[in-house]
Amino acid sequence: MSGARFLAFDLGAESGRAILASLAKEKLILEEIHRFVNRPVQVSGHLQWDVLRLFDDMKQGMALAAGKSGDPLLGIGVDTWGVDFALIGRDNVLLGNPYAYRDKRLDGIMPKAFAFMSKEEIYARTGIQFLQFNSIFQLFALAQEKSPLLDVSERLLFMPDLFNLFMTGEACSEYSIASTSQLMHAAHKKWEPEIFSKLQLPVHIMPPIVEPGTVLGKLLPDIVAETGLGPVDVIAPACHDTASAVAAVPARGNNWAYLSSGTWSLMGIEANEPIMNESSRQNNFTNEGGVNQTIRFLRNIAGLWLLQGCRRSWERQGLTVGYDELVSAAKKAKPFKCIVNPDDASFLNPADMPTAIIEYCRGSRQPIPESQGEFVRCVLESLALKYRFIVDKIGEMQTKRIEKLHIVGGGSQNDLLNQFAANATGLTVVAGPTEATAIGNIIVQAIAKRELNSLTEGRELVEKSFPLKTFEPQDHQAWNEVHERIRHRLV
């Protein structure tokens, strides 16, 4: 660690950041040098990603990195959200903007796919949680629509793979992002031909799969000229943002679970092999790829999306309130007035989130939240109780005893939710680091360039470099009683 520097691009479904990192004096130092908006654009009734604007923002980040003094840049890595993809034609031409995963064209698509191949058959091969926006169903929808784009496509590239193509000219797919597609065999780690055959999907467009830490190539000369960077190595980190976040969990031993907390809450354990059985299928758990051939056995939970949706609705009404004020109001609200299942389909993309919560409460014969504080408390308590439900299910499906819950990502700054998570699960909660995704991205790059020796060393570096907060369970019995009363709603 001689002052080596790396550039991480971390793109989420709402924003992207360019993070410049330095490894010096046994510490990892981060500097956010560029932040940019990312939101889907409504085009002809569909939600699509403006990927060229995003790439232009990434080039701005590269130019800003080039203007910073210090040791040479050793690598660039990109991580993004999962499942969405672009289609690439001859000569690496982008064939239209990628659809966004919340696009309504996917409503009702899963039963149509199951008429060709059953849920049981798909899960037995992929071990992936069923969500209507998974890549398998997005590609199936295009095939059913007889999209002309499929006729001229030569490659399907997931979002980080697309940006890697733009930077290097190389078309491949990194393992962790490929694993989210529900098109890859969980154990063999290759595209599953039977899925493509039965669903009548074009397997020839699927790219070769590479491991996290693969050096993909040098930055293309035109980008070098435009940004002022040298011919830097572009490295595939764990390109799925959750895989990068898990790589940065500052955990020791094996008896821990993780929660990547943000728009989505992704909760699970790190396993050496896929956990695929009838119980994991029935409980909709997923087996996604991680660093060092590990498996992220987890469940996707709607997360702070519900709170973000409420806040957007209030802003439209002119009731702009900061998150700190909302959390403060939630602390004062009555406990357990109403509990929702964050994963109910009505919360996926409602026109108005508070109205969706009200309708859910009416339908389940619960009191209706009336103030902003009551809505926020409902969301946070519901998330914490869902975390408890997931921890219990993980305990039923494997033998490892969970003693600690590590919460990373932007949501780890929400002390009230962290405390609720400790209360509900009965586990010690360690919160931080906030920038786990970018940190994990950088750790994998540093291992690839031999600036770090292992993932264990990287996690020790995280523990030394960033502040962590610990939350011990309080009022666990009261939370336990509520959980037992409403757990049937949390499936």
Q: Active-site positions?
A: 241
> Residue 370, class by beta-carbon neighbours within 10 Å (0-12 exposed, 13-18 middle, 19+ buried)?
exposed
Distances (CA, A) of 438 to 48, 156, 262, 454, 484: 25, 25, 14, 17, 37
Q: What values do phi and psi take at 2, rounded to 5?
A: -105, 35
Rounded to an integer, what distance in angstroms lies between the CA atom of residue 54 and that of residue 281?
36
DSSP string for 48-80 = E--HHHHHHHHHHHHHHHHTS-SSPEEEEEEEB
DSSP string for 148-194 = HHHHH--EEEEHHHHHHHHHHS---EEHHHHHTTS-B-TTT-SB-HH
CA atoms within 13 A on the CB side of 303: 20
What's the helix, strand, coil split of the chain in %, to 5? 45, 20, 35
Can you read off the two tokens belonging to residue 443?
A: 């750790």
Rounded to an integer, what distance in angstroms lies between the CA atom of residue 379 and that of residue 356?
12
Query: Of 433, 348, 355, 341, nearest to 387 (Cα)?
Result: 341
Query: Of 200, 198, 176, 202, nearest to 189 (Cα)?
Result: 176
Rounded to an integer, what distance in angstroms lies between the CA atom of residue 333 and that of residue 350?
25
Rounded to an integer, what distance in angstroms lies between the CA atom of residue 263 and that of residue 100?
15
First to last CA, the chain: 46
Can you say whether the dihedral through the CA atoms of 109, 111, 116, 118 is positive or negative? positive
Can you read off the two tokens belonging to residue 191?
A: 């595209």
Neighbours of 409 (CB within 10 A): 29
Those residues whose C-beta lies under 8 Å from the C-beta of residue 59, and which sit 6 or more positions away, are 223, 226, 227
Rounded to an integer, what distance in angstroms lies between the CA atom of residue 262 and that of residue 264?
5
CA atoms within 13 A on the CB side of 396: 13
